[in-house]
Amino acid sequence: MTIALSTQGLCRSFGAVKGADNITVEFTAGTVVALIGTNGAGKTTFLNLVTGYLKPDSGSVLLGERNITGMEPRDITRLGVARSFQIPQLFDQLTVDENLEVAEIIARHASTASQTKELARVRALALERFGLVPQRDQLAKTLPGGARKLLDIAMAVVSHPSVLVLDEPTSGVSAEEKESVVETVIELARGLNAMTLFVEHDMEVVAQYADRVLAFFEGRIIADGTAAEVLDAPEVRRLIVGTALGADGHA
Amino acid sequence: MPQRMLAGLSVLVAILAAAPWWMPPWMLFIASGALAKGMAALGLMLLLRGGLVSFGHALYFGIGAYAAGLLVLSGITEFLVLAVLGTLATLVLALILGAFVSRYRGIFFGLLSMALSMVFYGLLIKLQSLGSSDGFNLGGIHLLSIPMQGTAGQVPTYLMTLVLSVLAAIGIDQFLRSRYGLLTKALRDNELRVEYLGQSVRQLVLLNYIIAAGLAGLAGVLSAVAVGHIGPEMAYWTTSGEFVFMVILGGLGHVAAAFVGAGVLSAVQAVAYAVAPNSWQFIVGASLLACIVFLPEGLWSLLKRFGRRA
């Protein structure tokens, strides 16, 4: 099995608070991994360390066999790690189509001719799968919350990444749309053979879509395994999901 | 570009090209200056499209003018050489200074640009060899064998300024329609996202900064040739303010707006100076205020509105 991404002894503190406490983990290519944990557990810190937004105090991050520790976000993105944000980061004065065009233009810059065609295909696919076609000429600032979230994810997907990092992809999305959004994103990511790393608070979504789950607490990984294993672990039930939840994510 | 707008701009250029036959010489002189300053304002507009405003753009206007002046003092009077080397001097300086200022944003970028222009101004004031606060005259400039100065040189200088202004406007229009134009708009909206899509924000800012400086440098050369005199006030902060004023007056809607802003401001200045020589600034200030209140998107929005009705 190919390792897409790995970290070795990753540490990062914010004063006395440990955001990442000696995290060593490997992610297999093509898998879907959910990060769970309470607020402040270190999930977003982990994503920020992997994508270059934060520099670690110690430890390393490897993309395949390449050490990407301390690299700038743009360089990490160029190597194939794309991300979406908890609060969608869009170009508000541009249309939906132009937002995706910007993403494609930048990705195209470092691509061969055949990859360029593939980028255009993925862009069209993302637009269609995320149901953004009717809003393609609308300014991003006029989109409702759910559509903003989808556009943010679509922009990350357009670069055809090998690692897709999604920070709370369903926050701000209505309860009815939640599952279809995750299903669409994961289906698209699997189609691109991208390893997907996503932060999620909805345990039903986690149980249904994640191949593997990592539970975070105080900057450490306290459980690692399949959804059934992790959601049923006594420490996870006590500290994160509550005792009333079953291993399938249902109460 | 809509066909009607293209036709309107073509007619405007044709009217301006025929100006030597219908404009009195004093007006032609003002028009040459307005076109040159419009070119500098065009560069500033490019920076503004990327979300940055420079309060020291006159630095490059002054560098272009003084580079041309130094060449004339050393015996080079061919206009094409002055234009190329004057612009090149600004591009080199912009590359060096841009590497530094492109780290900053917002008010820091604006004031740092202003500080750099004031350092250059201070240097010019102290340099006796360059005429100190009086500056110095440039004479004998020609394009091949055509004189570019004096009574005989007024029309060639005007036409050359017009040709270069049109070329600059077309060039920037094409730039804004290219991938870099879209990225510049994206930059204004969300720098974090641009970085997370894999593009260096600093590189983009630097590129726009260098282009803007090059246009200001060429404008400085043209202005020096048209006026026949250069002085430190060309790099003073009020000149930078004038460029900002022109962009606000014209608006960001189209490359031609920078020239509209420059033309209107020059006309208002000329009229205000004739009507009230001791308080002309009041009239200029009041007109800017009126523009901001009634036309927040600049005069170009007014022209667009008329265009739609017609």
Number of domain units in chain B: 1
From chain A, the residues in CB contact with B195 under 8 A are 72-74, 77
Q: Which H or E element spans position A50? A: helix A43-50
Say which residue the tokens 């009634």 belong to.
Answer: B294
Nearest CA in chain B to A157: B197
The parent domain of residue B108 ranges over 22-236
Say which residue the tokens 């006030």 belong to.
Answer: B233
The CB density around residue B49, as the number of other CB atoms within 10 Å, is 17
Q: How far apart are CA B88 and CA B66, in angstroms?
A: 12
Q: How far apart are CA B135 and CA B152, in angstroms?
A: 24
Put simply, whether A97 touches B (Cβ < 8 Å) is no
Tell me the sheet residues that pair with A67.
A62
- Asked whether this complex has an ipTM greater than 0.90, the answer is no
How does residue A182 score in pLDDT terms, banded at 50, 70 and 90?
confident
pTM, two decimals, is 0.90
CATH number of A3-241: 3.40.50.300
The answer to the question of residue B90 being in a domain is: yes
Put simply, whether A90 touches B (Cβ < 8 Å) is yes
The answer to the question of residue B310 being in a domain is: no
The answer to whether the CB of A94 falls within 8 A of the CB of B189 is yes
Instruction: Tell me the per-residue pLDDT of A31-44, one tens digit each, with 9 for 90 and over.
Output: 999 999 998 899 99
The answer to the question of residue B210 being in a domain is: yes
pLDDT surpasses 90 at A244: no
pLDDT surpasses 50 at A251: no
Average pLDDT of every residue of chain B = 93
The answer to whether the CB of A240 falls within 8 A of the CB of A217 is yes
Q: Which H or E element spans position A215? A: strand A212-217
The answer to the question of residue B290 being in a domain is: no
- Counting residues of chain B whose pLDDT is more than 90, the rounded percentage is 79
The answer to whether the CB of A20 falls within 8 A of the CB of A11 is yes
Q: How far apart are CA B149 and CA A44, in angstroms?
A: 66
For chain A, the structural domain boundaries read 3-241
Say which residue the tokens 């301390």 belong to.
Answer: A70
Give the residue numbers in B contacting A (CB under 8 Å), as ranges: 179, 182-183, 185-186, 188-190, 192-200
- Candidate from B190, B199, B200 with C-beta closest to A90: B190
Residue closest to B204 by CA, chosen among B180, B223, B220, B224: B180
